[in-house]
A = this chain, B = another copy of it.
Amino acid sequence: MPRFADHSERRTAIADALINVIAQRGIEAVSIRSIAAEAGVSAGTVQHYFSSKQEIFDFAVASLRVRASARIAEHLEVQASSPGASPGRQVARTVLKQVLPLDDASLRESKVALALHAHAVTHGGASSAQVADWEELRRFVVEEIHGGSDLLFADRMVMATALMGAAEGLSILALAGYVSKSEAAEAFDLLDRMLGN
């Protein structure tokens, strides 16, 4: 870590170390000591920047979300600048396809996100900040995917929930090796087509 890194950079570097430890050895290998070793700092330094292991977990979850959002934003820019781009459905599909770890760049992060997800489930559930973030994404999908439809808002919420659940589940099935990436993508496309009509 550079000597004059500011507070936020140090926290990010420590959260990155947590993500590396989980990606390489699983969540059970996480300790203040293993995070410190991975970050190349002392355990005391880690404890200076985070008051608990849980606080590092929360920061890592937020950090993974920021990265996923950045990838989504990048895809959207590419799409917006391509000829014949349709705004509504295409945007929502891009968002949901990012949940499916179809490229190697997001595969590693998806694995870590799943581990953090499972951790949250056995430790009292997602935080209210995480739920609020997820709700924001769902509202976005509701608005974008059926922007032109005259369906009731309640029905569109059910559709968005179904699609987001399917993206999440197919992602996990692919990550664990139950289905191939292309099978997961094909199944998601089927749902997307059916719900899009």
Contacts and interface: CB of A to CB of B under 8 A. Distances in A.
A162 B172 contact: no
Given A30-B28, A118-B114, A126 B186 contact: no
B161 A170 contact: yes
Q: Is the interface of A mostly helix, strand, loop or mixed?
A: helix
A120 B55 CA distance: 25
Interface stretch (A4-12, A75-83, A139-147, A188-196): A188-196
Given A117-B118, A117-B176, A158-B190, A26 B123 contact: yes
A76 to B, nearest CB: 23
Interface residues of A, number: 52
B187 A165 contact: yes
Contact of A173 (B165, B171, B176): B165
A153 interface: no
Residue from A27, A135, A165 with most neighbouring chain B CB atoms (10 Å): A165
Interface of A: 22-23, 25-28, 30, 111-112, 114-115, 117-123, 125-126, 130-131, 134-135, 158-159, 161-162, 164-173, 175-179, 183-184, 186-188, 190-191, 194-195
